[in-house]
Amino acid sequence: MTEAAALPAPEPVRIGIVSISDRASRGAYEDRGLPALRDWLTRALLNPLDFQARLIADEQEQISTTLTELADAGCSLILTTGGTGPAPRDVTPEATLAVADKVMPGFGEQMRRIGQHFVPTAILSRQVAVVRGKSLIINLPGQPKAIAETLEGLRADDGGTLVPGIFAAVPYCIDLIGGPYLETVDAVCKAFRPRNAIRHTR
Ligand SMILES: Nc1ncnc2c1ncn2[C@@H]1O[C@H](COP(=O)(O)OP(=O)(O)OP(=O)(O)O)[C@@H](O)[C@H]1O
Ligand SMILES: Nc1nc2c(c(=O)[nH]1)N[C@H]1C(S)=C(S)[C@@H](COP(=O)(O)O)O[C@H]1N2
């Protein structure tokens, strides 16, 4: 048997993607949040992906209910986009904190650090990340272009990493909460794990 044949294939992963937008949910404009999330995750991950997609309005109860349902449905990762600013209808962080078992402040800190390289108003974002059971839930900004920026970080002209994207820490976080082993495409986003946590798959 060859070494490759002896290695296990990457595990399937269920991922919740949630676009939170008053205007896109009522059809005032086309939703670009879900396609941006799906496209980036498909480029970045080698695992077979089962997406659970939702497009909803900026309603706190509805957001919390959606996040709870996706976590209960076995999503290891849930990414939201939209509703993190200071406007009265921006309530995604409150809805996310309401379903948290643990708050993970490092994600929000790093997202705002990345954002300020693109736009000074990134400090207006109130994104949070939390763990609920075996799900990691992360709020991303609403601007569709900000989704890849935040997940991937900032590259230098030579292709090296200038500011690490938040996704580099996601696979190990999911390991620690008992989820499947996520494998990334290094050219898009190289996951970091301590040496003793690295497994080899095909
Ligand atoms: N789902 C989406 N599809 C396309 N563009 C979006 C989407 N969500 C947000 N945007 C764009 O990003 C901007 C900032 O996002 P934010 O979440 O603050 O939206 P908003 O201004 O509250 O409006 P809405 O909730 O109606 O989308 C929006 O004003 C819009 O231009
Ligand atoms: N990487 C990145 N982060 C970003 C932005 C961006 O263009 N790129 N836009 C910011 C802006 S203009 C706002 S108001 C806040 C709030 O997020 P929201 O889009 O969910 O309202 O996110 C910020 N974070």
> Around 84, how many Cα atoms within 13 Å sit in the side-chain half-sphere?
29
Using a 6 Å cutoff on CB, does residue 197 contact ligand 1? no
Other C-beta atoms lying within 10 Å of the C-beta of residue 153: 20
What's the distance, CA 54 to chain centroid? 14
Angle between helices 33-44 and 144-152 (to 10 degrees): 30
Q: Tokens standing for 190? A: 């190289």
User: What's the domain range around 149?
Assistant: 3-197
Work out which ligand 2 atom sits closest to the CA atom of 118. Answer: 8
pTM of the model: 0.95
Residue 148 lies in a domain: yes
Residue 125 lies in a domain: yes
Residue 202 lies in a domain: no
Are 80 and 136 in contact, with CB atoms under 8 Å apart? Answer: no
* Domain total in the chain: 1
Model confidence over 14-29: pLDDT tens digits? 999 999 999 999 999 9
Q: In angstroms, what is the span from residue 82 Cα to ligand 2's centroid?
A: 9
Using a 6 Å cutoff on CB, does residue 83 contact ligand 2? yes
Per DSSP, the chain holds a count of helices (H) and strands (E) of: 8, 8
Residue 41 lies in a domain: yes
Residue 22 lies in a domain: yes
Using a 6 Å cutoff on CB, does residue 150 contact ligand 2? yes
Q: Tell me, what's the ipTM? A: 0.94
Using a 6 Å cutoff on CB, does residue 118 contact ligand 2? yes
Using a 6 Å cutoff on CB, does residue 93 contact ligand 1? no
Q: In angstroms, what is the span from residue 119 Cα to ligand 2's centroid?
A: 8
Q: Tokens standing for 139? A: 């709020």
Render 122-186 in DSSP notation, one character per residue.
GGG----EEEETTEEEEEE-SSHHHHHHHHHEEE-TTS-EEEE-GGGGHHHHHHHTT-----B-T
Q: In angstroms, what is the span from residue 93 Cα to ligand 1's centroid?
A: 15
Helix runs in 45-119, H state only: 60-72, 92-97, 105-115
**What per-residue confidence (pLDDT) applies to 8?**
84
Using a 6 Å cutoff on CB, does residue 83 contact ligand 1? yes
Are 174 and 193 in contact, with CB atoms under 8 Å apart? Answer: no
**What per-residue confidence (pLDDT) applies to 161?**
84
**What per-residue confidence (pLDDT) applies to 39?**
98
In the 8-state DSSP scheme, what is residue 81? E
**What per-residue confidence (pLDDT) applies to 3?**
55
Name residues of the chain where pLDDT drops below 70: 1-5, 202
Model confidence over 123-134: pLDDT tens digits? 999 999 999 999
Ligand nearest to the CA of 125: 2
**What per-residue confidence (pLDDT) applies to 52?**
98
Measure the CA–CA gap between 115 and 147, rounded to whole angstroms: 10
Which CATH number fits the domain that encloses residue 137? 3.40.980.10
